[in-house]
Chain A
Amino acid sequence: MPWTSRPRRCPVLGDGALEQLKREGRIVVVGASLAGLRAAETLRAKGFVGSLTMIGDEPYEPYDRPPLSKGVLLGRARAHRTALPRLRSVDATWRLGVPATGLDMAARRVRLADGDDVPYDRLLIATGVRARPWPRPEEAELDGVFVLRTRDEGAALARRLDEGPKRVLVIGGGFAGSEVASACRERGLPVTVAERGAAPLVGALGGVVAAVAAGLHREHGVDLRCGVMVTALEGDASGRVRAAHLSDGSTVETDVVVVSLGALRNTEWLNGSGLGAGPRGIACDAGCRAFDIRGIVTDDIYAAGDVARCPHPLFGYQFLSLEHWGNAVAQAGIAAHNMLSESIDRLPHMDVPAFWSSQFGVNVKSVGVPSMATDILISQGSLDSRRFVGVYGYQGRVIGAVSFDHGRWLPFYKELIERTAPFPPQFPTVDRHTDGQQPMDADFPDPSVPSHGPTVTLSGYSPADRRMTFTPAH
């Protein structure tokens, strides 16, 4: 981590405003989930003793989401027992069950749905994402149609699976959809997965690896349909879903539908605020400071977690928004630190993206940004055995890696990414197979063709995704 070895200069204390902020300032965190909680803990750990307000739209204290699509669906964990452990006391005023509805940047106030508003000296936005709903509201409201993002949604789906449905239809074969399908199969439930792309996970990992994922689905008895869209959901007289119609003309009879079409960023409440926030998230600098719509960085508003978009030097300074657990934790720490720091002491968020999934008994891990790649080399293990490491290449350098049941090697590949090592890697490794000697086309779908939402979004556009009138000065 190069920035930690930087010689420390004497902090510019200015007029003592920072010390005053720490002592008696008001910090508001909107979003009471993983990023919000970890940021609050960091603020306290860094000596902030002023007032701290945590605002969350759900009525629950911060909880962990990964179990919702795994242990909870298998009946091994309970949705209401996934509260995140507290690393330290945060001594905050909790405003739970009350969504934020607006932001007044000039007056430094956050408006709440109950009509209240909360003043701040520093604001952290960690409102995350929500599940993308089924696009037709009347079909989405049928009994038996679920999305899976929140604790309540997890509990409701788990209850329905307990009832032993005749067949579950999962729409979308991304990570969440695949995990749901895996849990259903483990419970012995018949399941159909409808994926618009050529195979599950194809948007995140490319066609070569997606073919392995497809094999896993089929081997575990999933009725996997690829290259199809669900065109309509049909209910019975009592308003309960009974069938889904597919673009290939076929029909799937089902009593539970899990819509797993990726996520929407929770930024609508910022519309009109003047902050650089839009459907792609909130544009920030590498230190998590939010941009306004003019592309000027704010000094009092920060963003962290799924809702943030930060430029990353390792990935061409593209803005990255990441729906990754570790990213939320790391960004929260950086944002909290920077909020309480003089400019010279601020830290950039430069972590290499990383995430994991568990499906069909296989541990899947990834580092870097595979979806940016053009090529892949199977550097260890083999696709046939479904135990392997795939290294992703882009313009002659290593840009990402994925492992199936080979996760303990990934730190090595992370280092290759961090030092922009050449692709394809030329060295021999343990467990190198003959089919891993040459790179091949990673086979990512055309990004302009919609698929399930990838968990990494690359977007090198302007900070605000809204139209602005550009008037050059003379």
Chain B
Amino acid sequence: MTHTLLHQILDYANRADPYPIYEELRRTPVHHEADGPYVISTYYEIRSLLHDPRISSDARNQASAGADPLAESAPEGSALPPSFLRLDPPEHDRMRRMTNRHFGPPHSPHRVDAMRPELHDIVAGLIDGLGDPGRIDLVEEFAYPFPVTVICRLLGVPREDEARFHTWADTLAASLDPDPDADPAERGKGAHEARMQLGMYLAGLIEERRKNPGDDMLSQLATAKGQDGPMTTMELLSTAALLLIAGHETTVNLISNGMLTLLRNPDVLQRLRAEPRLAVPIVEELLRFEPPVQLLPGRTTLADVDVRGVTIPKGSTLWLVLASGNRDPQRFENPDRFDPDRPDIQHLGLGSGIHSCFGAPLARLEAQLALSELARRLENPRLLDDPPQYRQNAVLRGPRHLRIACDGIRP
């Protein structure tokens, strides 16, 4: 393996602490190696490009741009049409609008907040079910099952099917987490199989909900007749898959990174225990400090674009390194300090512009509830491994296991 900065970002050896590499990257805000992507690492430049209509998110444009070391781990190599994450307007706007109609304001302003009691119950149940307090894997036992259960409830997956759903979700998520020791062909096959089964399951569920709609999101998406007309079954499937995948792996990492950071900052953990409402600024600072999505690799220039005096040619692939922008000292004072009291924290952790995180309100609420309840109920928690074992994935970065011990679990 060569030691270019690009390879260092991808190198698993740097997964536990990629921030020194980002610091080095920022010395060249527009970093380009051979025929690789143009890597943007400074706050203002990233933010600018996120609003730049000359930058396309359409997977088809990127495919023609080629030459991307991350291309192999593309999350959506299936027969489904691209989700709105990988579309440009006007298609993007239509799909996102139709989906948002049943998720957020103005049409569904209370949807997420109304889930609060249910989320609280799920969190409480998972903490109740934690095994030996001396040996907890917080990822396996808590951070992982929580978001999948939530997305099941949101989409309207019947309780009795949740276990099957979890299995498919795990397999798919694992396929986003390339393990260098596993046989890629074998893993690819497993993921393909899981995707097929999940797709067929969802298709069946959509059919069922068309006939007997409930008040879940899938029913509403399946029966909607707004100004944009109904979604086709294929569009619905790719939207459901997007909600599942994007709304899942990221939240796991937000919660695991969050608990890891809190255990490394016991004073903040202590404050959170006393004052649960601190969870709000803590989660915002986490999104800056340890964002679950480290970089956006999927953007392509539709024209020559000048950034900091460098002309990025038309048709180039961009990597926008959000996690680096979040630690840019030009933007944040003491950026490497975890400080939930920051008065000004317009981070890039959820992106910006038209592709800014669709699930943000839910992700925030999930993380706030999870962290404040863990802080309240775990007695004297401590890390057993620091740093913990990380996932392979450099883009969706987070611990694979987070082994902790505590003296007991409060009721």
Contacts and interface: CB of A to CB of B under 8 A. Distances in A.
Contact of B89 (A361, A412, A430): A430
Interface in A408-446: 408-412, 415, 427-431
B322 to A, nearest CB: 16
Interface residues of B, number: 21
A57 B109 CA distance: 36
A412 B90 contact: no
Contacts of B90: 381, 385, 387, 431
A379 interface: yes
Contact of B48 (A361, A412, A429, A430): A412
A412 B88 contact: no
Contact of A429 (B58, B302, B304, B356): B302
A431 B48 contact: no
A380 interface: yes
Contacts of B106: 361
Q: Which of A361, A381, A410, A429 has the most CB of B within 10 A?
A: A429
Which 3 pairs of residues, A with B, have the shortest CB-CB distance?
A: A429-B53, A431-B89, A430-B88
Interface of A: 361, 379-381, 385, 387, 389, 405-406, 408-412, 415, 427-431
Q: Which of B48, B53, B55, B353 has the most CB of A within 10 A?
A: B53
A428 B56 CA distance: 11
Nearest to A379: B53
A408 B354 CA distance: 6
Nearest to B88: A430
Contacts of A431: 53, 88-90, 93
Given A428-B54, A430-B88, 14 more contacts: A361-B106, A381-B90, A387-B90, A389-B53, A409-B51, A412-B52, A412-B53, A427-B302, A429-B53, A429-B302, A430-B56, A430-B89, A431-B88, A431-B90
Interface in B24-52: 47-48, 51-52
Contacts of B406: none
B216 to A, nearest CB: 25
Contacts of B89: 380-381, 406, 430-431
Contact of A428 (B93, B303, B353, B356): B303
A430 to B, nearest CB: 4
Contacts, number: 54
A380 B303 CA distance: 15
Contacts of A411: 47-48, 51, 353
B284 to A, nearest CB: 17
Nearest to A414: B51
B162 to A, nearest CB: 35
22 contacts: A361-B106, A379-B53, A380-B53, A380-B89, A381-B89, A387-B90, A387-B93, A408-B353, A409-B51, A409-B353, A411-B48, A411-B51, A415-B48, A427-B54, A427-B303, A427-B304, A429-B54, A430-B55, A430-B58, A430-B88, A431-B89, A431-B90
B51 A408 contact: yes
B343 to A, nearest CB: 9
Contacts of B47: 411
A380 B93 CA distance: 12
A22 B54 CA distance: 49
Nearest to A431: B89
Interface string B293-333: 00000000011100000000000000000000000000000
Interface in B90-146: 90, 93, 106
Given A380-B53, A387-B90, A430-B89, A409 B302 contact: no
A410 B353 CA distance: 9
Nearest to A430: B88
A137 to B, nearest CB: 40
A33 to B, nearest CB: 23
A409 B354 contact: yes
A405 B55 CA distance: 19
Interface in B155-193: none
Nearest to A380: B53
B84 to A, nearest CB: 13
Nearest to B55: A430
Contacts of A409: 51, 53, 353-354
Contact of A430 (B53, B304, B352): B53
Given A380-B89, A381-B89, A387-B90, A428 B302 contact: yes
Contacts of B93: 387, 405, 431
A430 B52 CA distance: 9
Q: Which of B51, B56, B302, B356 has the most CB of A within 10 A?
A: B51
Contacts of B88: 430-431
Nearest to B57: A430
Contacts of A385: 90
Nearest to A363: B106
A186 B48 CA distance: 36
B272 to A, nearest CB: 23
A430 B90 CA distance: 8
A380 B88 CA distance: 11
Contacts of A410: 51
B42 to A, nearest CB: 14
A408 B48 contact: no
